[in-house]
């Protein structure tokens, strides 16, 4: 279950980065990067 949530969080992060980059809006890109960092931290806590 935890792996599924990590994958979903990673997908949301990538989508936010892509959409923010296409629209040249910085906040979604920063949020996407933050989600990736959260995913990495949760993954390393296994």
pLDDT at 46 over 80: no
- Residue 30, both tokens: 């920063």
Share of the chain above pLDDT 70, in %: 98
Query: Can you tell me the mean pLDDT for 4-23?
Result: 95
Q: What average pLDDT does the segment 3-32 reach?
A: 95
Q: Is 25 helix (H, G, I), strand (E, B) or coil?
A: coil
Structure tokens at 20: 């923010």
Q: What is the mean pLDDT of residues 21-30?
A: 95
42 vs 21: CA distance, rounded Å: 26
């Amino acid at each position: 279950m935890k792996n599924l949530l990590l994958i979903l969080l990673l997908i949301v992060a990538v989508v936010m980065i892509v959409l923010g980059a296409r629209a040249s809006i910085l906040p979604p890109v920063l949020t996407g990067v933050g989600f990736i960092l959260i995913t990495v931290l949760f993954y390393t806590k296994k």
